[in-house]
Structure 1
């Protein structure tokens, strides 16, 4: 069996960072909002860094739980969530702001909801 306290701590950290991404980008409505000025580009860079860290943390979560936890929640495409980290880290100059924005607006809220569900069920 794996360390539930460690898993819950990691889930809390991931949720906190997902909330930060959501909050920081609340005034971004289209990809041009990122690219239209220096502040937008800085926000895109910092958002990508957070998303990469989140992807890495989810990989760690999967490893810590011996690949037994996330598979119980197939409604989330975990492989794609973890893959986002790889794309950001290894293909940074090819990042599409439209994809990042879609991820933030459509996928992040669902991921937060699912992680909160997991956290609650582990308590």
Structure 2
């Protein structure tokens, strides 16, 4: 058995990071809002840093739970989330702003919902 309280703490950190990304992403309406101004690039950089933290935290959950917890929630592409972390970390100068935009626009809401579901499930 794994340390549920540790996993719950990590899930809360992921939840907080997603909510921070969502706040920072609110004024971004197009990819150009990231790329055309220094302020947009700062937002892109800060969002990428949090995406790295989320991916690393997901990897840690897999490690702590012997890869048994996350597969119970197949609606999320966990491998993709971890892969995003690797791409941003190791190929930072080749980051595709459009891909980051798409992740923020289409993936984070469902990830947050599932993270909250996992938190609830582990609270029982």
Mapped partners of 2:83, 2:69: distance in 1? 18
Aligned residue pairs total: 123
RMSD: 0.6
Runs of 4+ in 1 over 4 A off after TM superposition: none
- 1:48 is matched with 48
Matching of residues 35-114 of structure 1 within 5 Å: 35-114=35-114
Deviation at 1:36, TM superposition (A): 1.1
Distance, in Å, in 1 between the alignment partners of 2:104 and 2:10 is 20
CA-to-aligned-CA distance 1:28-83 (integer Å, 9 cap, x gap): 01110011111111111111011011100110011111111001011111000000
For structure 1, the residue ranges without an aligned partner over 5 or more in a row are none
Distance (Å, rounded) in 2 between the aligned partners of 1:37 and 1:64: 41
Please tell me whether residue 11 in structure 1 is matched to residue 6 in structure 2. no
State the TM-score, normalizing by the size of structure 2.
0.97
What is the rounded CA distance, in whole Å, between the counterparts of 2:47 and 2:16 in structure 1?
13
